[in-house]
Amino acid sequence: MSEEVYYTLGAWHVKPGAEEAFIAAWKNLEALFMSLPQQPGPGTLVQSIDQPQLLYSFGSWPSMEAIRAMRSNPRVPEMIGQLSALCEEAKPGTFRVVATVS
């Protein structure tokens, strides 16, 4: 690959009945991301049809430096904490693309 692409990805198992609150909180986090000097690509939140409490979020970032800058913003840990508080299990992480299929 000529240029590395980085993603933040979260697996979220939301508490029963907290799905709508989680979606609203995630949209607030996405709004914060879009106000950063180094903005991510479009963010996506998907919800399982069979298990509506299971959601995944992901978005691309221009560089690892952009991800580090995002995480150093004092509001980000607070907002991730709000998301996590709505969950039975929360697993956010950072990933890089290693293969694609055309």
pTM: 0.89
Q: Which fold has domain 6-96?
A: Alpha-Beta Plaits (3.30.70)
Residue 70 token pair: 């995002």
Nearest residue to 23 via CA among 53, 59, 67: 53
- Backbone dihedral region for residue 17 (phi beyond 0: left; psi -120 to 50: alpha; all else: beta): left
Q: 2: pLDDT confidence band, cut at 50, 70 and 90? A: low
Average pLDDT over residues 50-75: 95
User: What residues does each domain of the chain span?
Assistant: 6-96
CA distance 20 to 52: 10
Residue 38 token pair: 């180094």
pLDDT in tens, 8-50: 999 999 999 999 999 999 999 988 998 999 999 999 999 999 9
1 has a pLDDT exceeding 80: no
